[in-house]
Amino acid sequence: MKSNHIETNTIHAGKVKDKQFGALSTPIYQTSTYVFDSTHQGGARFSGDEQGYIYGRLGNPTVRELEQRMASLEGTDDAAALGSGMGAVSATIFAIVNAGDHIVASNALYGCSYALLDHKCRQLGIDVTFVDITNEMAVRSAIKDNTKMLYAETPINPNLVCVDLDMIARVAKEKGIKSVIDNTFMSPVLQRPVEHGIDLIIHSATKYLNGHGDVIAGIVCGDQEMIEEIKLTTLKDMGAVISPHDAWLIIRGLKTLHIRVERHCQNAQKVAEYLEQHPSIKTVYFPGLPSHDGHRLIGHQMKAGGGVMAFEIDGDFDNAVQFMDQLKMCKIAVSLGDAETLIQHPASMTHSPYEPEDRRAAGISDTLVRLSVGLEHVDDIIEDLHQGLSKAFTGLVKTGS
Ligand SMILES: *Cc1c(COP(=O)(O)O)cnc(C)c1O
């Protein structure tokens, strides 16, 4: 069943009824292969004359349900689930571009997406131009005759710059090229790029979709033709397959996605407001704050600011390290969208694949800290940050509160 309410859809949309036993929870089909009744049937499955499963890398009923649920939540025809977010990014890119083609991509991206485009794509003879993707003129002037794809994420990891999806879709449609958006930071609860005309939507399902820090997985959502192309080529032949058990864990996670995301947003809003007034913090990057440039897109393309923010400590690298090392409850870890509050240092961690000057161009300084606000009581999160900030400056002139 499909409702107009995402709260209902995260639970019911795309659910496959268990006709055999009526199980409420989706069965986990933990199998590598499928038995044919006859040689003839096996041949008919391979030729496509008969529908049905063949082999685990080509499809699995538990994985299929996850795909249908995600297509339903993102509002696309179909979806493909993969073994990691990067599996989804690479399968999507290589399904669209070939040697001799050109990609226009955001100069600020998730570190491994950037590395894939900057290193592997170029080695394979795919030309890539990185631009300030929020600047329509820059995007337009980077497009060439052989451009096949516009690639971006919004909000951009880690400094939360927001990209106008209407602009990206308009330029892509005008030029006849595919637009691809990594929607990991928002989840379909807060932002549905297809409603703005974006062609393909990628998720690291490792983050909010699963939400419990126990799975690595990816999803790509889009029209029938593109998803089929990905499944029959770059998923099947490059092989970043998701396990049925991991697909099941994400299906379970999705059922609480809307309430988790709502609480992540509420907590993050309060944490951002606390940090913004703290004397030891120079800048807070969070779209939920009116001071942030992305704030204007809230209510239009995104429902709220999300649960991730970044901030600059008013000090040096050592202060940032000291602050992080003093935290008691918040965990020093990459990843985001989990129940636990996670904190990390992009310059030395997620964005270390960047050359230092490219990192600076992407707005990632050495004192930038990224925070994924968890589901703990917000007072406990703030208290931990507060004591950490106080100790980060102990003995220094710039002591905060
Ligand atoms: C984590 C992340 C990825 C990569 O996903 P994995 O599941 O770790 O492979 C891609 N894009 C964004 C925005 C991410 O946060």
Please tell me which residue in 29, 45, 110, 285 is annotated as part of the active site. 110
The yes-or-no answer on residue 379 being catalytic is no
**Could you tell me the two tokens for 332?**
């020093």
Q: 189 and 322: one domain?
A: no
User: Are 315 and 344 part of one and the same domain?
Assistant: yes
Among the atoms of ligand 1, which is closest to the Cα of residue 336?
A: 15
Residues 3-15 have pLDDT tens digits of: 889 999 999 999 9
- Report DSSP letters for 309-368, one per residue: EEEEESS-HHHHHHHHHH-SSSEE-S--SSSS-EEE-TTTTTTTTS-HHHHHHTT--TTE
Contact by Cβ (8 Å): 201, 191: no
274 lies in which domain range? Answer: 257-392
Per-residue pLDDT of the chain (401 residues; tens, 9 = 90+): 678 899 999 999 999 999 999 999 999 999 999 999 999 999 999 999 999 999 999 999 999 999 999 999 999 999 999 999 999 999 999 999 999 999 999 999 998 999 999 999 999 999 999 999 999 999 999 999 999 999 999 999 888 999 999 999 999 999 999 999 999 999 999 999 999 999 999 999 999 999 999 999 999 999 999 999 999 999 999 999 999 999 999 999 999 999 999 999 999 999 999 999 999 999 999 999 999 999 999 999 999 999 999 999 999 989 999 999 999 999 999 999 999 999 999 988 988 877 888 888 878 898 999 999 999 999 999 999 999 999 998 755 444 44
Same domain, 83 and 189: yes
Q: Where are the alpha helices (DSSP H) in 183-316?
A: 187-190, 224-230, 236-238, 244-254, 257-277
The answer to whether residue 182 is catalytic is: yes
CA atoms within 13 Å, Cβ hemisphere of 398: 13
CA 31 to centroid of ligand 1, rounded, Å: 27
Q: Whose CA is closest to 320, among 381, 251, 229, 396? A: 396
Last residue of a domain, one of 220, 254, 288: 254
| CA 247 – CA 401 distance, rounded (Å) | 46
Annotated catalytic residue 207: yes
Based on the fold, state whether residues 81 and 150 are members of the same structural domain.
yes
Ligand 1: which residue has its CA nearest to atom 1? 204
Residues 154, 120 share a domain = yes
Question: Residue 308's domain is classified under what CATH number?
Answer: 3.90.1150.10
217 and 103, same domain (yes or no): yes
Task: Domain count for the chain, please give it.
Answer: 2
Measure Cα distances from 298 to 30, 97, 290, 301, 355 in Å: 42, 33, 10, 6, 32
Q: Which amino acid is at 363?
A: G
Whole-Å CA distances, 14 to 84, 255, 399: 21, 12, 54
